[in-house]
A = this chain, B = another copy of it.
Amino acid sequence: MKLRELAERLQCRLEGDGELDITRVAGIEHAQPGDLTFVANPRYQGFLDTTRASAVLVTPDVPAKADGPALLRCAHPYLAFAQALGFLANASAPAPGIDPTSVVALDATIGSDVSIGALAIVGARARIGARTIVHPGAIVGAGAVIGDDCVIHARVSIRERVQIGSRVIVQDGAVIGSDGFGFVRQPDGSHLKIPQHADVVIEDDVEIGANTTIDRPAVGETRVRRGAKIDNLVQVGHGVSIGERTLFAAQVGIAGSTVVEDDVVLAGQVGVAGHIRIGKGVVATAQTGIPNSVEPGLMISGYPAIPNRDWLKSSAVFRNLPALKKRVVELEQRIAELEEKLNACLRSEG
């Protein structure tokens, strides 16, 4: 694509040769001639002198260089970079159509320009919206509903009656609507399964990672709200509610019936207990364990979770605990000596 055209599509101001051919997007350290790259962080401005990229997305305040690469100026270079990747990356959506090896129920409803891949399965009464792509080997259960413009990657399981909004992306191997982990202990000590047949709702613009699992509850619903992004190998328990625009990194686990409010960010391997509420905008650093409800806006760490600032300070003391203990032992010795001296002194006076 000509740099001039790219600048127009990204709504950037062009400084340089608009006739340059841009064929790829790359990181600034690895970029080659023909590549577009970006500087979003002032720390990386130094690379402008050395990058081999043909063009760089920068903010309006970055000084121009003679003999430097062409510049595309805009308020949010990283956002423009993401958009440029969409234009230039080596992506290829499958063509619309229903693969003859797929198994689509006669009473399923398939929207216009849908693509259903090889050996994919669409169950009875399922409905799939316009332009949605169901990749090879994916399974859409009986009565499930998927909106428009979704991408269901290979080998995904969407269980019966699950409801999925529009523009949802589900990566390979994810399972949506598996049975929640619910049992009741019987008098003989064995566990009776509580049937789990209630609803799972995935709202618009959600992304769900590879091999992630989202359970359905016995009653009520499990719901992932609009714009939430969930990474790989995450567990969402039955009856959980995930707020809008939440971000869950890989291997996060949320136990049953918990409410995660909007704009929460959970880093990798965070665990959240069941039946609690994580307030709006809470941020938990990696591996945090959250046993109780958390007030909105807090940044938390550790297990059990405490405010991040406190945890950092306590962790700094933790690594020197043996030294602290030694200081206490020394104090005990010094004080014993003092006590002895003072008592001797008092006795001698008495």
Contact = CB atoms under 8 A, between A and B. Distances in A.
Contact of A313 (B219, B289, B322): B322
Given A197-B91, A232-B181, A331-B328, A219 B27 contact: yes
21 contacts: A82-B192, A85-B197, A89-B195, A171-B179, A173-B175, A189-B263, A190-B227, A191-B227, A210-B213, A271-B287, A286-B291, A286-B303, A287-B289, A302-B319, A313-B321, A313-B322, A314-B320, A314-B322, A324-B328, A338-B342, A345-B345
A321 B306 CA distance: 13
Contacts of A318: 302, 314, 318, 321
Interface of A: 25-27, 30, 76, 78-79, 81-83, 85-86, 89-92, 101, 103, 118-119, 121, 123, 136-137, 139, 141-142, 153-155, 157, 159-161, 169, 171-173, 175, 178-179, 181-184, 186-187, 189-195, 197-198, 205, 207, 209-211, 213, 215, 218-220, 227, 229, 231-233, 235, 237, 245, 247, 249-251, 253, 255, 263, 268-269, 271, 273, 286-287, 289, 291, 302-304, 306, 310-311, 313-322, 324-325, 327-328, 331-332, 334-335, 338-339, 341-342, 345-346, 349
Stoichiometry, as copies per complex, reads 3
Contacts of A349: 345
Given A26-B219, A137-B137, A173-B175, A191 B229 contact: yes
A25 to B, nearest CB: 6
A286 B310 contact: no
